[in-house]
Structure 1
Amino acid sequence: MSSPMIRTRIANACDTCKQRKVKCDGNLPCSYCRRRQGDSTCRFSPTPRRRPRRPHLPSPETSVTQSSVPSIGPDVSTDVPVSSAEPSRIHTAHTTQTRTSDNISLRSDASAEEEADVPREARLLRDAHGKLTFVGDCAPLSLFQTVRHIVTSRVDPNAFNPQTGQSGRVSMLENSSSYLSFSAIGKEPYVDSATVGQLVSSFISATSGLVNLFENENLESNILAWIAKEGESADVTSAVNYLVLAIGSQSINEESAAISFQYAKTLALSCLGGDLGIETVQAFALVTIYMLRACQINGAYLFFGIAARAAYSIGLHRTEVNTRFGSNMHIQRDRLWKSLRVLDLFLSISMGRPPSMSDVDCTVPCRTFSANGQEQYDLLNASVQILSITEEIVLRVYSRRKISFQLTEGISRQLRDWSSRWLPRLKQAVAKSPQEDEAEIIGACQVMSSYYYAVMLVARPFLMYELYKRLPDPDIPTVTNLSNGGSDNSGRTRLANACIDAASLMAESVADLVNHQILDGCMPLIVSWLFASSLVLGVGLLGGFGRILEKYARMSIAGLEYFARNDAHALQYSLIAKSLLSNALKHLQKQDIDERLQITESSSKLFGLVPKERLLREDALPTDTDQPGILPSDMESANAPQDLLTNELFASPFHDIDPALLSLGCSLDSTAGAFLGRDQQDRIDHVFGALNLFPLLDGNGHIDLVHNL
């Protein structure tokens, strides 16, 4: 007698198998994800313990709704298995459970259209040397991970492979060309006084809107005076001057810039000790800027920590301390602190890491007023203000993992206030002629780019939700998919459009300056935010937000290619953006062809438009079904391969129609509904009537995108 089969059960299935409702073997990665080339996306979210029902909870319907809300995935996903990940999962489950219980009353009052979850895409990426480095949720690279997963799972499994490897993973590039031998570091660089003016001008333009470390009017004369007595002393001041010249020549002569940088960095480290001053802060802030422009972002993050600690050590964060050094020094010390804040916030936001500095004990004002009470125009103040708002977005949205309309309105009020005070003046500055003030033009562009990225960051979760709704799932029958996702004017759709509009405006403003060859070749802030805008525009085109987005997507790609001549990150980002645009256009073309095929099939026998040979083939087809109302052409369309249908389409009298003209919103229901069989139309009505077209109403507006992104 044969023994009965013993069914093996696993404690927890991966997120993908849960969503697809398929059997999971419990391995990491599981066999299902391995077959779908989704090794990096195979994740196991913790299963929260069931909580006893509280007496004060509302009706049983509320309990069912609450229990139906999907759990939120882990905070950090890595490209390699980590043995110590289990305790963090337990902690994450406990935190998620606590946050859920605390917000029950808020969710019961929230509308179904008032919330969206923020995808958790923090992860460990490998740098050029194979070392793992952390990138948080709000970073542009994390947005790419979300976009890549959507595209590979719903559009093309092989998307991005030529640029990011067979596994689809992206690595964080780190340039190593600037590292010289120790023998070359000890040699003092030669400085040509004839080139100082050009290098100082290039330095001021490249750092405008990012930092303001010196009195720019006297910077060139101070360096020339230092050159005149060069060799008398090797101190931090010499390191600062060498760093200014290195940054100024970074886009002109990379080898000369690398020699000056390495010597200055060694000199600054050798002078680092108990005798700290503003020169120490300036030196390591300049080291940070140089390494950012050289795509050495991890090194920049580390060296900035020295600048931040040194600034706190000499009291730069307290304006009452700065006033003791006289009027001019007071202004310089305040500007130095605000410059560090801008650098810190850019580093933390672009990499998704906690900042090194805080405004908790800071009294340095970021707004200055004239005698008549009007706020003075200052690019550094504008940059600090908009990045501070962006920091609040990260803390209030991406740390909470959820965003609501109420929270969005509070943030948008701050953005509107900033925009009303600064955006008109910044646009006027960008519209100036380069001969007037090139530094002001570049600085205004950098500040405006930060503003556009802040808007994209706060509206990004709603765009991801809309994208998920609009793109059909290939594993679900076509009849249950909403291919267009609707064209409603809901709050989520409006916010998704705001995200796309901000990306379009940024791409347009950068493209204008690129066309006039105004921007420096190394602009890390613009490159990071422009990469995010290229991703937003690509998925906006993919999700059917308008064919005009192709124009703006190409603008962003042209900008990235412009910076790619000097920036390795920009080169990598441009390849990703071009791959996304290519996949979006292919997807839209396929949609147009499929839509036209459906329309052609439904009207094929009205006037004898289909060739005679095809009619003979249709008449010869065996009818193995007795279902009424289904035409033979419909059966052929359902059973024939896609490439065969495409060939038949272009062999038909419609072969000379431009595919771009086939996306006019025509559908089988609206165009040929009158010609459908009555029974077939009844079945379609029955299927769609059985669908819940508003699934959000079942979850009090709670959307968990983790399992879908």
Structure 2
Amino acid sequence: MPRPKVPFDKRQRTAEACTFCQTSKKRCSATLPCTNCVRRGRGQFCTLQKQSTASPEQRLPHEQLSPQSKVSMDPAHPIPYPAAASSPEATHRMQPRMLRGSHGQKVFIGPSASLSFLQFIRDTVSRHLGPSQFSNNEHTETMFEDTSRQMPSSPGVEDMDLDEKERLVDVYLHATSGMIEVISRQEAIELLDQPLKLDDANPNCKEIITQLIIAIAQCSQPTALGERHTRLSFASMKLTTLEPLIQSPNLEMVVVFLLMSFSMLGACRRNLAYMYLGVATRGAVVLGLHCREAYMSTNIPESRRKARVWMSLRVLDSVVSTILARPSGLAGLALDQLDDVMTSLYWQDGDEDANLLASYRLAAIMDRVVNKVYSRKSVSTDIAEDLLRQLRQWTELFPGFYRIPTESTKDQQSTEAISRVVISTMFHFTVTLVTRPFLITTLTAHMTQIGRRVPGETLLSQDPVHVQLASACTDSAIWLLHACLEAKEAGLLLDYMFVTQALVFAAALILGFSLFVQREINLETEAMFSAARDILRSFSAHSPQAGCYHEILTHLSQTISHQRQQTALQSCRRSSSYFDQVVPRDTVQGGAQVNVLQINTPPQYLDDDWSSPSRNNVSDIDSWLLQNQPIIDPSFEQGYGEGDGIMGDMRLAGWDSLDLSLWDSFPFPE
């Protein structure tokens, strides 16, 4: 008896399917490209059956298009709109997540966050290698928050002399350079000269700002004084102290909550920092700092002061919102109308506020990237090219700001140099945000083809625009880590650079994912991935968040090594199976069965976590190669030599170091 017809409202299959799924009778998602074609690495060839009436050129595979319709790879010729439109959209494949906070509550993390990208990598690793310490552990569903520090209520500045106060002010300016410029050096010194008399009933914003400056400085460079006094003492303020500030908002109140947010980020309490930042942004809107009229009705010094606070607020809000992938506190406001106002107030050659202006304009582009790329499930090459064009225009407007100055200075920890470190990392991070969906699309398609390829089969070529943008993503990640490595060697990385820590982690995830998918060893990528772990390890001495980042990357590195060893063993078994088709495995001598391919695997190549290779699958030549390892420079395992530049001493030994005596035992065939 035939099966009864399923009602239309209970059918699980779509009403239409792509050409490939319809031909192969596979379940199709009816999207373009569909999930089945993307998983098989042929997403660029996916077309729905209802589009069969389109022009013949649209139905041809990508390799059969005319040269005029293909994307130009020549940098001298910009990509035309029709060619870019022929490229399929790239999906970032990351979903919003709900993680456990410090007290077990659920907190939101958006799709553009590095934690969401980390979960995507974990899922990919788990599908291909199974459970591991990297992909499955107790911390995968937890957002790290450090709540273990005890915070006294007073920083105690009465026993500081003037020199010590000036030193703390300089450290504070170094820690906030490139992002926050709400107070000048002279103003900060004058605040520290005044005695602190905090009154919960009648709080003084200037006294709270003084307390914040000292706390940030002490956390940036831990000293005996910092250990003797406080770390982020203002966190123990009572809500009754802050309530009067909110009831009567002013510019100082915005500065207070802005610095409190900055300090909480350094204390690895990002959720609290995000909430403080929300209070600061709402206070700024109440004061009308988002309107042009707020800067036209006052004198020039007061307008510049308001502009400094507004630009600092937007930079920190954009960075924090992007890192956590949460809505900005300034979302929905027409902020671009203030660009000319900020430029007219601060655009002067040699003006120190040019760094803040560069960060401000870069933060605006960062907001556009998040809104246009990650607000949907996929992004087109048109949008990506437009955003990259805006970044190129930014580099023309602020030439050299995306590179660390190479000229030597007497003060290595100068505010100018540290500002360039922060701005350059923000620039390269923004490029990776634009191009990361194309990296994910390209590498996942490549990984799928590798997994399903029959030996001798040629891989399908991928969309050239996607490949170009994916390459730009890895290149930007390498440049970001290279800049941080140079800054580390120059002594420009402070303990309080939480933004740099987060961006280093994001760039390292990109390189780690690339190393996991691509079977070929790229020495530059390997070196920068190792450099990222080294940078975070140096931060971890004073930052638990950096220690958490370093642990994750270490587990990822072990997973990459595990995957490479499995690939090598599979290749060895495959070649041995071909050899068995020519030479019999066993011979009979005197009635006893003898295996001619028996070897003794050296113990250093066996791991308790991995199954040892079969003794019957390795030849005598393989045994000789395993027992007589090539000589490799020890610095190759470290990734780079300390103080020796981007690649350091990472190199294979040359002919001079080859031990020729090893060849006396080589099993030459007779």
Which residue in 2 is equivalent to 1:388? 364
Q: What does residue range 61-140 of structure 1 map to in structure 2 within 5 Å? A: 67=30, 69=32, 113-140=87-114
Q: Secondary structure at the match of 2:329?
A: coil
1:552 aligns to 2:528 (yes or no)? yes
Which residue in 2 is equivalent to 1:496? 470
Which residue in 1 is equivalent to 2:648? none
Which residue in 2 is equivalent to 1:199? 168
Which residue in 2 is equivalent to 1:693? none
Work out the CA distance in 1 between the residues paired with 2:85 and 2:631.
41
Work out the CA distance in 2 between the residues paired with 1:617 and 1:547.
47
Higher relative contact order (CA 8 A, sep 6+): 1
Classify 1:68/1:220 alpha carbon distance in 2 versus 1 (closer, same or farther; 3 Å).
closer
Which residue in 2 is equivalent to 1:208? 177
Q: What does residue range 584-663 of structure 1 map to in structure 2 within 5 Å? A: 584-599=560-575, 602=578, 616=587, 643-644=613-614, 648-649=618-619, 652-655=623-626, 656=628
Work out the CA distance in 2 between the residues paired with 1:481 and 1:575.
39
Residue 368 (structure 1) aligned to one of 343, 361, 364: 343
Which residue in 2 is equivalent to 1:276? 249
Residue 479 (structure 1) aligned to one of 451, 454, 459: 454
Q: Which runs of 5+ in 2 are unaligned?
A: 37-49, 60-81, 598-610, 634-670
Q: CA deviation at 1:344?
A: 0.9
Q: Secondary structure at the match of 2:297?
A: helix
Maintained 8 Å contact 1:127/1:173: yes
Work out the CA distance in 1 between the residues paired with 2:449 and 2:105.
35
Q: Secondary structure at the match of 2:339?
A: coil
Work out the CA distance in 1 between the residues paired with 2:588 and 2:422.
63
Letter in 2 for 1:573: Y
Classify 1:397/1:266 alpha carbon distance in 2 versus 1 (closer, same or farther; 3 Å).
same
Maintained 8 Å contact 1:238/1:264: no
Classify 1:271/1:415 alpha carbon distance in 2 versus 1 (closer, same or farther; 3 Å).
same
Work out the CA distance in 1 between the residues paired with 2:229 and 2:492.
23
Cα deviation 1:127-174 (Å, max 9, x = unaligned): 22211100000111111011111111113421415xx625x7241111
Normalising by structure 1, we get a TM-score of 0.68
Q: Secondary structure at the match of 1:343?
A: helix
Normalising by structure 2, we get a TM-score of 0.72
Maintained 8 Å contact 1:193/1:227: no
Which residue in 1 is equivalent to 2:287? 314
Q: Secondary structure at the match of 1:257?
A: coil
Q: CA deviation at 1:569?
A: 1.6
- The range that moved more, 541-550 or 390-399, is 541-550
Q: CA deviation at 1:188?
A: 7.8
Maintained 8 Å contact 1:48/1:71: no
Q: CA deviation at 1:275?
A: 2.7
Which residue in 1 is equivalent to 2:545? 569
Work out the CA distance in 1 between the residues paired with 2:13 and 2:302.
57
Which residue in 1 is equivalent to 2:429? 453
Cα deviation 1:611-656 (Å, max 9, x = unaligned): x9x55389x999xxxxxxxxx99xxxxxxx9720697257534433
1:149 aligns to 2:123 (yes or no)? yes
Work out the CA distance in 2 between the residues paired with 1:132 and 1:119.
22
1:581 aligns to 2:581 (yes or no)? no
Percent of aligned pairs sharing the same letter = 23
Work out the CA distance in 2 between the residues paired with 1:481 and 1:468.
21
Work out the CA distance in 2 between the residues paired with 1:434 and 1:288.
32
Maintained 8 Å contact 2:257/2:276: yes
1:341 aligns to 2:314 (yes or no)? yes
Equivalenced residue count is: 555
Work out the CA distance in 2 between the residues paired with 1:450 and 1:208.
13
Cα deviation 1:337-367 (Å, max 9, x = unaligned): 0111011111211111110014734443365
Q: What does residue range 412-427 of structure 1 map to in structure 2 within 5 Å? A: 412-427=388-403
Q: Secondary structure at the match of 2:245?
A: coil
Work out the CA distance in 2 between the residues paired with 1:617 and 1:146.
53
Classify 1:136/1:401 alpha carbon distance in 2 versus 1 (closer, same or farther; 3 Å).
same
Q: What does residue range 185-264 of structure 1 map to in structure 2 within 5 Å? A: 185=153, 189-194=156-161, 195-224=164-193, 226-227=194-195, 234-251=203-220, 252=222, 253=226, 256-258=229-231, 260-262=233-235
Work out the CA distance in 2 between the residues paired with 1:11 and 1:573.
50
Letter in 2 for 1:351: L
Q: Secondary structure at the match of 1:125?
A: strand
Letter in 2 for 1:227: P
Q: CA deviation at 1:244?
A: 0.9
Which residue in 2 is equivalent to 1:442? 418
Q: Secondary structure at the match of 1:271?
A: helix
Maintained 8 Å contact 2:155/2:214: no
Q: CA deviation at 1:540?
A: 1.2
Work out the CA distance in 1 between the residues paired with 2:459 and 2:557.
20
Maintained 8 Å contact 1:135/1:351: yes
Cα deviation 1:663-699 (Å, max 9, x = unaligned): xxxxxxxxxxxxxxxxxxxxxxxxxxxxxxxxxxxxx
Q: Secondary structure at the match of 2:180?
A: coil
Letter in 2 for 1:238: E
Which residue in 2 is equivalent to 1:301? 274
Q: What does residue range 352-367 of structure 1 map to in structure 2 within 5 Å? A: 352-358=325-331, 360-362=333-335, 363-365=337-339
Classify 1:643/1:528 alpha carbon distance in 2 versus 1 (closer, same or farther; 3 Å).
same
Residue 517 (structure 2) aligned to one of 543, 550, 571: 543
Maintained 8 Å contact 2:178/2:359: yes
Classify 1:72/1:600 alpha carbon distance in 2 versus 1 (closer, same or farther; 3 Å).
closer
1:534 aligns to 2:544 (yes or no)? no
Which residue in 2 is equivalent to 1:165? 137
Which residue in 1 is equivalent to 2:62? none
Cα deviation 1:463-517 (Å, max 9, x = unaligned): 112221232589x7663898x9678682212211111111111111112222333
Which residue in 2 is equivalent to 1:506? 480
Work out the CA distance in 2 between the residues paired with 1:227 and 1:48.
74
- The range that moved more, 266-275 or 438-447, is 266-275
Work out the CA distance in 2 between the residues paired with 1:371 and 1:349.
26
Maintained 8 Å contact 1:344/1:356: yes
Q: Which runs of 5+ in 1 are unaligned?
A: 14-45, 53-59, 74-99, 623-631, 634-640, 662-709
Work out the CA distance in 2 between the residues paired with 1:657 and 1:150.
33
Letter in 2 for 1:399: S
Maintained 8 Å contact 2:536/2:550: yes
Q: CA deviation at 1:203?
A: 0.9
Work out the CA distance in 2 between the residues paired with 1:517 and 1:10.
70
Letter in 1 for 2:566: K
Q: Secondary structure at the match of 1:384?
A: helix
Cα deviation 1:382-434 (Å, max 9, x = unaligned): 11212211211111111122111111111111111112333524425365436
Q: CA deviation at 1:435?
A: 1.0
1:290 aligns to 2:274 (yes or no)? no
Classify 1:600/1:423 alpha carbon distance in 2 versus 1 (closer, same or farther; 3 Å).
farther
Which residue in 2 is equivalent to 1:329? 302
Maintained 8 Å contact 1:534/1:553: yes
Which residue in 1 is equivalent to 2:377? 401
What is the root-mean-square deviation in Å for CA atoms of aligned residues? 4.4
Q: CA deviation at 1:448?
A: 1.0
Cα deviation 1:315-352 (Å, max 9, x = unaligned): 22224323433211110101100111011111211111
Work out the CA distance in 2 between the residues paired with 1:454 and 1:411.
10
Work out the CA distance in 2 between the residues paired with 1:12 and 1:584.
46
Q: Secondary structure at the match of 1:134?
A: strand
